[in-house]
């Protein structure tokens, strides 16, 4: 912002009026003529020739002026060398408060500087010099400049006198006036400004003007007021339909959904008729409508004797665009046509108002009374909708749905008949009383059948769960009598009401020639311990819900604080996922590296950056391209399930991406990945105390799940994730996972896939998946953990495993396993599931062990030849080990091959001579590895009796 326009003295010729020996001459330069003041008294001694300007008035603030001279000096060499000659002249100044006219007193002038040419003019041509000099610290009203010649040959062509100023400006919506630049000793001048119209600032805007006339370092920032936006250096009103809520640098934004912006300059847009905002909603946000009524309200009897009913319903069709939907329930008892409030006697679990789930248990009801339940949906705007306010209009009528219910006993099966029979099949049908009401939840039936003459000790029976009151059973043996029993199931899956048992016989083979093939098929069924054919073969109708069975039938156990909701109870799975999971914008997710492959696509490590929140490391599950809608829903079902859980030992869902093409599930990142792999990679590196600590975490997570009535069905170390703090978290919640994803899943004759070696016998046999079967799996996880990721039952086939379990064989204690921990495993593997400990018991016991670590010192009996499957004397083909490396490989200790070679141990005879000390000395340091090698040597020597001698 140098202000050359502020030159106020332009032409020297006009102002120099006092001349002593200087004269005005006319010169021609580059073809044009001009005047100059010239003096050339070379050769004459004692020269003192003066030229003075007229009085120059000074602007009061301009204490520093610049003098730009254009001049010519003749070369002294062009004169006779013996004559006096100078090539410089002097600049003087004199301050004065008044014009003194032509009076000139030399003594009043102060020398400013000697002026010397950069180039001198010789015979070869004229050289014009330009020099700028500064005259500082002027303080009087005006001044004179004077030029003293002391014997040179000089011509002054022009003199410009000026000061510098910062020009008036608008910076960041603050206006600053023109300001004269300061002098050397006041190089920065602070200047106060003011905000332009419709802008404001928290502090007075300031800026500095430099000595060079430049603006620098603005302090204080003006912003356009609410309702105005910055356009160039001004603040302009928001257009109608746009608003700006705060003083900011931002632009006006379009009015949000369900609001109106009729006027210009709006700071907010008022709600449209019938739409509201809650006080906690941001004023800049959309307005929402009231929710419509809840749908499909049904009541089911859970425990008749306790006067209990379960009311459940579906969320409103239209939530008014809000996610804070809650429900309240009101009860009226009706007798003889008159209804009145049920009063305080009635209990609601979890509560009668503020419900976030779409179900409530009502108890303390009297039998034989008619009750009317009114369920109302509320949202954050419901209670404000009715209040008169400038922004809210009258609400629509409240949403309510009424159903009346006279609860009755579960339906009874009244009769069973055979509709059709063949050599290998029977079609049955039965009646129920009372008949199911329209809109009542479907009744499910449990049909059990077996051959009549089976030895009862080894009965092969089949259980079918049916949704219709008829069935065709095929693949039966010809000419054989079967006993059929059918019973209605209550909504929680437990048998209710009375059952009916009948005997029917298939036709004899001789009656038809076409039955041979079917008979072969029928025979296959008998092979399994017990088989289960479910109408729920369709993957979609498979649900993990239903933890309740006899195992948890004590009244306290039936009152979970929060209950898991099967996402498939939602008609539209997309509604379920949005209910239980937060939608994340994909721009907040950065994928960094592929860390695994899931059933539906790759799993990435990445970063979640949500504005206003700390960045978090996350795992991102993706859905591979080309998916079907069904696959997308199955993929997202994991998020609908996971999103319902909040526990330290359950993998936390950060959110989902569903509204964009590439659906994603974002969870917390677990640095150490899957537990089985992690333990294998760190074999022998953790103490029993640390391992039990991990198990305690898993048990706590499982207790939480079972308290919510969620049955996992695929609990295994591969489905536990480990973070940096060695915290273990239960994962893998997809509904289809057990069936599709798990490589351990094995097809059963009923068509489902089951991870046999982790699954309780009753779940394999007739799909009785409960929290008690999860406890069995937990026992297997305990074994996997204590054995550092060893495969349960090693290389036994699934068939061998099932046979062994049926014959009461159980996994032996892993090496170095505390006795108390192994005892707990055995408890988890009790055949009678009602005798297995509950997860609450398991957590308490593990806590107790961790509180007194001495309790972990007693080690369970251990036989290395069984427990770590160490080959006793031979390699895999039965022949003795041919080399040290073959032996090390067989016990998975190949990493020490070089240690053995370097120590000169190159054949098995030498190995057999090794003592514990020798193993340590060759560099095997980890206690687990030391033991594995030592035990193997003992096994090779067949000296199991000395096992206890070895303790590290
Ligand atoms: P999944 O589809 O859940 O079985 O995931 C496949 C693999 O991705 C797992 O075996 C883990 O190695 C990895 N993985 C999944 N989720 C996470 C997570 N939250 N943190 C770290 N790794 C994970």
How would DSSP label each residue in 478-509? TT-EEEEEEEEE-TTS-EEEEEEEEEEEPPPG
Residue 434 burial by Cβ neighbours in a 10 Å radius (0-12, 13-18, 19+): exposed
Structure confidence by residue, pLDDT tens digits, 418-442: 888 888 889 888 887 665 544 455 5
Helices 688-707 and 819-828: angle between axes, nearest 10 degrees = 30
Q: Provide the pLDDT for residue 164.
A: 92
Structure confidence by residue, pLDDT tens digits, 86-136: 999 999 999 999 998 888 899 999 999 999 999 998 877 888 999 999 998
Structure confidence by residue, pLDDT tens digits, 621-675: 999 888 888 888 889 999 999 999 999 999 999 999 998 888 999 999 999 999 9
**How far apart are the CA of 543 and the centre of ligand 1, in A?**
22
Structure tokens at 693: 């600590």
Mutate which of 593, 602, 619, 722 for ligand 1 pocket (most atoms within 8 A of beta carbon): 619
Residue 807 burial by Cβ neighbours in a 10 Å radius (0-12, 13-18, 19+): exposed
**How far apart are the CA of 554 and the centre of ligand 1, in A?**
37
What is the C-alpha separation between 202 and 222, in angstroms, rounded? 8
Q: Of residues 115 and 382, which shows the higher confidence score?
A: 115
- Dihedral of CA atoms 562, 567, 571, 577 in degrees, nearest 10, equals 100
Q: Is the CB of 488 under 6 A from ligand 1?
A: no
Span of 269-273, 443-447, 635-639 with lowest mean pLDDT: 443-447
* Residue count (the chain): 952
Are 421 and 508 a contacting pair, CB within 8 Å? no
Ligand 1 atom nearest to 638, measured from its CA: 3
Mean pLDDT of 796-821: 90
Q: Provide the pLDDT for residue 131.
A: 94
For atom 10 of ligand 1, the residue with the nearest CA is 674
User: Torsion-angle region of residue 134: left (phi > 0), alpha (psi -120 to 50) or beta?
Assistant: beta
Structure confidence by residue, pLDDT tens digits, 321-334: 888 888 888 887 76
For atom 8 of ligand 1, the residue with the nearest CA is 596
Exposure string over 581-617, b if 16+ CB within 10 A, otherwise e: beebeeebbeeeeebeebbbbebbbbebeeeeeeeee
What is the C-alpha separation between 676 and 790, in angstroms, rounded? 8
3-class secondary structure, 100: coil
Q: Provide the pLDDT for residue 124.
A: 73
Q: Of residues 552 and 827, which shows the higher confidence score?
A: 827
Which residue out of 714, 741, 742, 816 is catalytically annotated?
714
Structure confidence by residue, pLDDT tens digits, 871-893: 444 555 556 788 899 889 888 88
Q: Of residues 736 and 182, which shows the higher confidence score?
A: 182
Q: Is the CB of 606 under 6 A from ligand 1?
A: no
Q: Is the CB of 695 under 6 A from ligand 1?
A: no
Q: Provide the pLDDT for residue 935.
A: 80
| Kind and range of the H or E run holding 872 | none
Q: Provide the pLDDT for residue 204.
A: 93
What band does 540 get if pLDDT is binned at 50, 70 and 90? very low
Using the structure block, give the residue that is written with the tokens 């705007």.
381
Are 362 and 345 a contacting pair, CB within 8 Å? no
Indicate whether 66 pLDDT > 70.
Answer: yes
Indicate whether 399 pLDDT > 50.
Answer: no
What is the C-alpha separation between 847 and 856, in angstroms, rounded? 12
Q: Is the CB of 673 under 6 A from ligand 1?
A: yes
User: Torsion-angle region of residue 160: left (phi > 0), alpha (psi -120 to 50) or beta?
Assistant: beta
Write out the E strands in 196-256.
199-200, 206-210, 215-219, 223-224, 228-231, 234-237, 242-243, 253-254
Structure confidence by residue, pLDDT tens digits, 707-744: 988 999 999 999 999 999 999 999 998 754 444 455 66
Using the structure block, give the residue that is written with the tokens 């108890």.
363
Mean pLDDT of 367-388: 70
Average pLDDT, the chain: 80
Q: Is the CB of 864 under 6 A from ligand 1?
A: no
For the question of whether the overall pTM of this predicted structure is more than 0.75, the answer is no
Q: Which domains does the chain have, with CATH numbers?
A: 2-165 (2.60.120.260), 167-224 (2.60.40.1770), 295-407 (2.60.40.10), 413-509 (2.60.40.10), 567-668 (3.30.200.20), 673-857 (1.10.510.10), 865-950 (1.10.150.50)
Structure tokens at 897: 């091959």
Q: Is the CB of 675 under 6 A from ligand 1?
A: no
Structure confidence by residue, pLDDT tens digits, 125-179: 888 999 999 998 899 999 999 999 999 999 999 999 999 999 999 999 999 999 9
Q: Provide the pLDDT for residue 303.
A: 55
Ligand 1 atom nearest to 671, measured from its CA: 21
Structure confidence by residue, pLDDT tens digits, 230-250: 999 999 999 999 999 999 999
Mutate which of 596, 667, 735 for ligand 1 pocket (most atoms within 8 A of beta carbon): 596
Mutate which of 668, 721, 741 for ligand 1 pocket (most atoms within 8 A of beta carbon): 721
Indicate whether 268 pLDDT > 80.
Answer: yes
Write out the E strands in 364-469.
370-378, 401-405, 412-421, 426-433, 444-451, 461-466
**How far apart are the CA of 134 and the centre of ligand 1, in A?**
75
Indicate whether 940 pLDDT > 60.
Answer: yes
What band does 445 get if pLDDT is binned at 50, 70 and 90? confident
Q: Are strands 531-534 and 461-466 parallel, antiparallel or unpaired?
A: parallel
**How far apart are the CA of 816 and the centre of ligand 1, in A?**
30
Please confirm, yes or no, whether 942 is among the known catalytic residues.
Answer: no
Indicate whether 400 pLDDT > 50.
Answer: no
What is the C-alpha separation between 54 and 499, in angstroms, rounded? 128
Indicate whether 748 pLDDT > 60.
Answer: no
Q: Provide the pLDDT for residue 408.
A: 41
Structure tokens at 425: 């099949």
Give the CA distances from residue 898 to residues 31, 721, 734, 888, in Å, rounded to whole numbers and listed in that order.
99, 33, 45, 11
Using the structure block, give the residue that is written with the tokens 């090698």.
933
Span of 13-27, 634-648, 833-847 with lowest mean pLDDT: 13-27
Indicate whether 789 pLDDT > 80.
Answer: yes
Q: Is the CB of 71 under 6 A from ligand 1?
A: no
| Kind and range of the H or E run holding 111 | strand 110-115
Are 495 and 487 a contacting pair, CB within 8 Å? yes
What is the C-alpha separation between 448 and 464, in angstroms, rounded? 6
What band does 807 get if pLDDT is binned at 50, 70 and 90? confident
Give the CA distances from residue 399 to residues 290, 374, 386, in Å, rounded to whole numbers and listed in that order.
8, 10, 13
């Amino acid at each position: 912002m140098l202000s050359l326009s502020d030159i106020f003295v332009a032409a020297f010729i006009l102002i120099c009026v006092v001349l002593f020996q200087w004269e005005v001459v006319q010169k021609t330069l580059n073809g044009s003529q001009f005047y100059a003041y010239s003096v050339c008294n070379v050769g004459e001694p004692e020269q003192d020739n003066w030229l003075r300007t007229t009085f120059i008035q000074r602007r009061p603030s301009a204490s520093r002026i610049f003098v730009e001279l254009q001049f010519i000096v003749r070369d002294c060499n062009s004169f006779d060398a013996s004559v006096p000659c100078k090539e410089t002249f002097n600049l003087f100044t004199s301050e004065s408060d008044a014009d003194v006219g032509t009076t000139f007193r030399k003594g009043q002038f102060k020398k400013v500087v000697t002026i010397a040419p950069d180039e001198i003019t010789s015979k070869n041509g004229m050289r014009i010099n330009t020099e700028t000099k500064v005259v500082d610290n002027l303080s009087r009203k005006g001044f004179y400049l004077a030029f003293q010649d002391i014997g040179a040959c000089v011509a002054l062509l022009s003199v410009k006198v000026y000061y510098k100023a910062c020009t008036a400006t608008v910076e960041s919506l603050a206006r600053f006036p023109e300001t004269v630049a300061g002098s050397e000793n006041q190089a920065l001048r602070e200047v106060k400004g003011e905000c332009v119209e419709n802008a404001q600032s928290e502090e007075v805007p300031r800026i500095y003007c430099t000595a060079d006339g430049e603006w620098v370092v603005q302090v204080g920032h003006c912003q356009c007021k609410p309702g105005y936006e910055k356009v160039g250096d001004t603040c302009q009103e928001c257009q109608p339909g746009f608003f700006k809520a705060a003083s900011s640098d931002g632009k006006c934004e379009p009015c949000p959904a369900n609001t109106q912006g009729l006027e210009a300059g709006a700071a907010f847009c008022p709600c449209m008729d019938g739409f509201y905002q809650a006080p906690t909603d941001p004023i800049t946000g959309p307005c929402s409508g009231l929710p419509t009524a809840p749908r499909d309200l049904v009541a089911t009897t859970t425990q008749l004797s306790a006067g209990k009913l379960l009311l459940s319903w579906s969320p409103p069709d239209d939530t008014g665009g809000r996610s804070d939907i809650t429900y309240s329930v009101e009860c009226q008892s009706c007798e003889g046509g008159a209804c009145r409030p049920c009063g305080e006697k009635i209990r609601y679990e979890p509560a009668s108002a503020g419900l976030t789930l779409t179900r409530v248990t009502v108890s303390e009801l009297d039998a034989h009374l008619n009750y009317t339940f009114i369920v109302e949906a509320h949202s954050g705007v419901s209670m404000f909708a009715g209040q008169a306010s400038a922004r809210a209009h009258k609400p629509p009528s409240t949403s309510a749905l009424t159903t009346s219910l006279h609860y009755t006993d579960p339906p009874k099966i009244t009769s069973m008949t055979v509709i059709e029979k063949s050599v290998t099949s029977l079609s049955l049908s039965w009646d129920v009383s009372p008949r199911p009401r329209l809109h009542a939840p479907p009744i499910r039936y449990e049909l059990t059948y077996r051959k009549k003459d089976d030895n009862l000790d080894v009965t092969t029976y089949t259980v079918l769960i049916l949704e219709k009151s008829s069935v065709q059973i095929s693949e039966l043996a010809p000419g054989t009598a079967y006993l059929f029993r059918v019973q209605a199931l209550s909504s929680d899956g437990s048998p209710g009401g009375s059952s009916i048992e009948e005997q029917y016989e298939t036709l004899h083979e001789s009656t038809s020639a076409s039955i041979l093939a079917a008979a072969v098929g029928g025979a296959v069924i008998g092979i399994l311990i017990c088989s289960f054919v479910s109408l729920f073969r369709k993957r979609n109708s498979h649900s993990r819900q239903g933890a309740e069975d006899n195992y948890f039938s004590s009244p306290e156990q039936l009152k979970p604080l929060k209950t898991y909701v099967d996402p498939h109870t939602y008609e539209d799975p997309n509604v379920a996922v949005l209910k239980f999971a937060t939608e994340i914008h994909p721009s907040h997710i950065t994928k960094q590296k592929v860390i695994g492959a899931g059933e539906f696509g790759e799993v990435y490590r990445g970063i979640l950056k949500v504005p206003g929140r700390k960045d978090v490391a996350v795992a991102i599950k993706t859905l591979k391209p080309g998916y079907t809608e069904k696959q997308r829903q199955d993929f997202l079902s994991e998020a609908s399930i996971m999103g319902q859980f909040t526990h330290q030992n359950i993998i936390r869902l950060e959110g989902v991406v569903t509204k964009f093409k590439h659906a994603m599930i974002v969870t917390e990142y677990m640095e150490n990945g899957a537990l089985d792999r992690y333990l294998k990679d760190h074999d022998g590196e953790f103490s029993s105390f640390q391992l039990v600590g991990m198990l305690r975490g898993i048990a706590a997570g499982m207790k939480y799940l079972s308290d919510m009535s969620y049955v996992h069905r695929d609990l295994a170390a591969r489905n536990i994730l480990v973070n940096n703090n060695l915290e273990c978290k239960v994962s893998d919640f997809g509904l289809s996972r057990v069936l599709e994803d798990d490589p351990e899943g094995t097809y059963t004759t009923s068509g489902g896939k089951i991870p046999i070696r982790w699954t309780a016998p009753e779940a394999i046999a007739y799909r009785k998946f409960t929290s008690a079967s999860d406890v069995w799996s937990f026992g297997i996880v305990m074994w996997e953990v204590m054995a550092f990721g060893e495969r349960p039952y090693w290389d036994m086939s699934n068939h061998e495993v099932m046979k062994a379990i049926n014959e009461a064989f159980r996994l032996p204690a892993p090496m170095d396993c505390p006795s108390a921990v192994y005892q707990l495993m055995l408890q988890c593997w009790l055949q009678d599931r009602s005798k297995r400990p509950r997860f609450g018991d398991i957590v308490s016991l593990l806590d107790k062990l961790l509180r007194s670590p001495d309790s972990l010192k007693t080690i369970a009996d251990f036989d290395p030849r069984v427990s770590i499957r160490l080959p006793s004397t031979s390699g895999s083909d039965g022949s003795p080990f041919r080399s040290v490396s073959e032996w090390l490989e067989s016990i998975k200790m190949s990493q020490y091959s070089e240690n053995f070679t370097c120590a000169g141990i190159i054949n098995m005879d030498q190995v057999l001579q090794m003592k514990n000390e020798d193993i340590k000395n060759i560099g095997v340091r980890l206690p687990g590895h030391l033991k594995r090698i030592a035990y193997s040597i003992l096994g090779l020597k067949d000296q199991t009796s000395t096992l206890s001698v070895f303790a590290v």
